[in-house]
Amino acid sequence: MTGIATAYMDSVPLVALTGNVILPLLGKDSFQEVDITGITMPITKHNFIVKDVADLAPTMRLAFKIAQEGRPGPVLIDLPKDITVHTTDYEKVVIKPLLPRSDRLGKRSLETALELIKGCERPMCYVGGGVIRAKASEQLSTFLDLIDSPACTSLMGSGSISSLDERFTGLVGMHGTKVSNMLVSACDLLIVIGARFSDRVVSKASSFAKNAKIIHIDVDPAEIDKNIKSYCNLVGDVKVVLEALNGQLEEKLVHTRWMEQVADYKRRYPIRVDSESARSKEILKALQSQLPPDFFIVTEVGQHQMWAAQFIKHVQPGHFLTSGGLGTMGYGTGAAIGAQVGNPKSRVVNVAGDGSFKMNCNELATIARYRLPVVILLMNNQTLGMVRQWQTLFFDGHYSETTLDTPIDWLGLAAAYGVKGMHLGKDDDPKAVLNAALSLGEAVLVDCEIPLDDKVYPMVAPGAPIDEMLGVPEP
Does the fold of domain 275-449 match that of domain 107-268? yes
Separation CA 169–CA 191 (nearest Å): 15
Do 279 and 249 form a contact (C-beta atoms < 8 A)?
Answer: no
CA nearest neighbour of 334 among 296, 367, 380, 308: 367
Burial class (CB in 10 A: 0-12, 13-18, 19+), 132: buried
Do 79 and 90 form a contact (C-beta atoms < 8 A)?
Answer: no
Tell me what pLDDT residue 245 has.
97
Do 458 and 175 form a contact (C-beta atoms < 8 A)?
Answer: yes
CATH number attached to the domain at 2-85: 3.40.50.970
CA nearest neighbour of 16 among 74, 81, 57, 82: 74
Tell me what pLDDT residue 405 has.
85
Ramachandran category for residue 296: left, alpha or beta (phi over 0 → left; psi -120 to 50 → alpha): beta
Do 424 and 430 form a contact (C-beta atoms < 8 A)?
Answer: yes
Domain edges within the chain:
2-85, 107-268, 275-449
Domain range 275-449, CATH architecture: 3-Layer(aba) Sandwich (3.40)
Q: What are the pLDDT tens digits along the chain (475 aa)?
A: 999 999 999 999 999 999 999 999 999 999 999 999 999 999 999 999 999 999 999 999 999 999 999 999 999 999 999 999 999 999 999 999 998 988 888 899 999 999 999 999 999 999 999 999 999 999 999 999 999 999 999 999 999 999 999 999 999 999 999 999 999 999 999 999 999 999 999 999 999 999 999 999 999 999 999 999 999 999 999 999 999 999 999 899 999 999 999 999 999 998 877 655 689 999 999 999 999 999 999 999 999 999 999 999 999 999 999 999 999 999 999 999 999 999 999 999 999 999 999 999 999 999 999 999 999 999 999 999 999 999 999 999 999 999 998 889 999 999 999 999 999 999 999 999 999 999 999 999 999 999 999 999 999 999 999 999 998 877 6
Tell me what pLDDT residue 295 has.
97
Distances from the Cα of 188 to the Cα of 126, 208, 211, angstroms: 13, 12, 6
In 3-state terms, what secondary structure has residue 296? Answer: strand
Domain range 107-268, CATH architecture: 3-Layer(aba) Sandwich (3.40)
Burial class (CB in 10 A: 0-12, 13-18, 19+), 336: buried
Do 228 and 207 form a contact (C-beta atoms < 8 A)?
Answer: no
Which pTM value belongs to this model? 0.94
| β strands within 228-276, DSSP E | 232-235
Chain mean position to CA 69: 20
